[in-house]
Amino acid sequence: MSMTPEQQAEIEHARAQSTNTRRPSVGPLEDILYQAVPLLDHGFVRVIDYMGDDSAVVQAARVSYGRGTKKVSEDKALIAYLMRHRHSTPFEMCEIKFHVKLPIFVARQWIRHRTANVNEISGRYSILDKEFYVPAPENLAAQSVINRQGRGHVLEGEEAARVLGLLRDDAERAYAHYGEMLNEDEAGQVLDPERQGLARELARMNLSLNYYTQWYWKTDLHNFMNFLSLRADAHAQWEIRVYAEAMLDMLDRWVPHTAAAFRQYRLGCATLSAAGLAVVKRMLAGETVAQEDSGLGKREWGELMAVLGRE
């Protein structure tokens, strides 16, 4: 992870501050507040702020005046009920804000989750850092022959070295040309006083998708869990999954009862279609069911069999 001494000093200063408040605060999340969790080769994610906790979910569901006199076990049961029956609005009462540094191609996947507030660093006003993502050798894989958006076998030997070299060389060359067009270096110093640089908003288009960007990303708890359910899934692209998995730990720290219900009823569960459920009922009744007479297509049949452990 690349962080300047100034940025690290800013984090340490923020973490040294303490404010008395009547609002609920969450100790385990406070422990990591502002701290950057390093991800990939130059990226990170850190919690900047949050509002609410498990009790806020319960309070919204009951529309009560305060935390009330309910037992913790009753609160946990209510949260589980809300999660199980997809009552989403109580979870919208909590919010969390992150500072994320990530490759541009990961950001373009991430931004598909539109139910959030986002403010990204602007290449119109700032000179972007010379930081680009290069996969570790174990994550350098060929295109899958059975999945158009997945990876196959890991590249090795000369083939892997060649691809890694191309990625580095192309990114280095792109940044060199970016600086040449700007007529500025990374610190904003003019390279050649005899010529005028290209506008930053134009020069930036030369950079490749593996360069890093940064943004502040704020969302409510309900939509945060929607993000995690897709991006922490084994089918998600690995580079965005590492961010989601780090944020899962932050969810555990922030709202442990909600996180437990989320893992139970969202991450660890399977959803069946009406036709798939009918197949399961037939099997439980002792009937031998084949794909041809199941009413399911080959793909859905395969997915159902995988869920049932009958691959």
Q: Where are the domains of the chain?
A: 1-128+211-269, 134-209, 274-307
- HSE-CB for 117 with a 13 A CA cutoff: 8
Backbone angles phi, psi at 33, to 5 degrees: -55, 130
What is the predicted pLDDT for the residue at 69?
A: 55
CA distance 196 to 152: 47
96 by DSSP, 3-state: which? strand
Instruction: Spell out, as residue ranges, where the chain has pLDDT lower than 70.
Output: 1-2, 65-70, 144-149
Q: Are 253 and 32 in contact (CB under 8 A)?
A: yes
Q: One of 200, 204, 231, 253 is an active-site residue; which one?
A: 231
> What pTM, to 2 d.p., does this model score?
0.90
Strand-pairing partners, residue 154, are: 141
Predicted confidence at residue 186, as pLDDT, reads 79
In this predicted structure, what is the pLDDT of residue 65? 63
b/e 156-176 (16+ beta carbons within 10 angstroms → b): eeeebeebbeebeeebeebbe
1-128+211-269: CATH number: 3.30.1360.170
Residue recorded with tokens 């500025």: 184
Read off the amino acid at residue 193.
P
pLDDT for res 54: 96
Q: Note the pLDDT of residue 165.
A: 95
Phi, psi of 84 (to 5 degrees): -65, -35
Task: Clarify whether 231 is annotated catalytic.
Answer: yes
Residue 5 is predicted with a pLDDT of: 85
Give the pLDDT score at 71: 75
Q: What is the pLDDT of residue 148?
A: 65
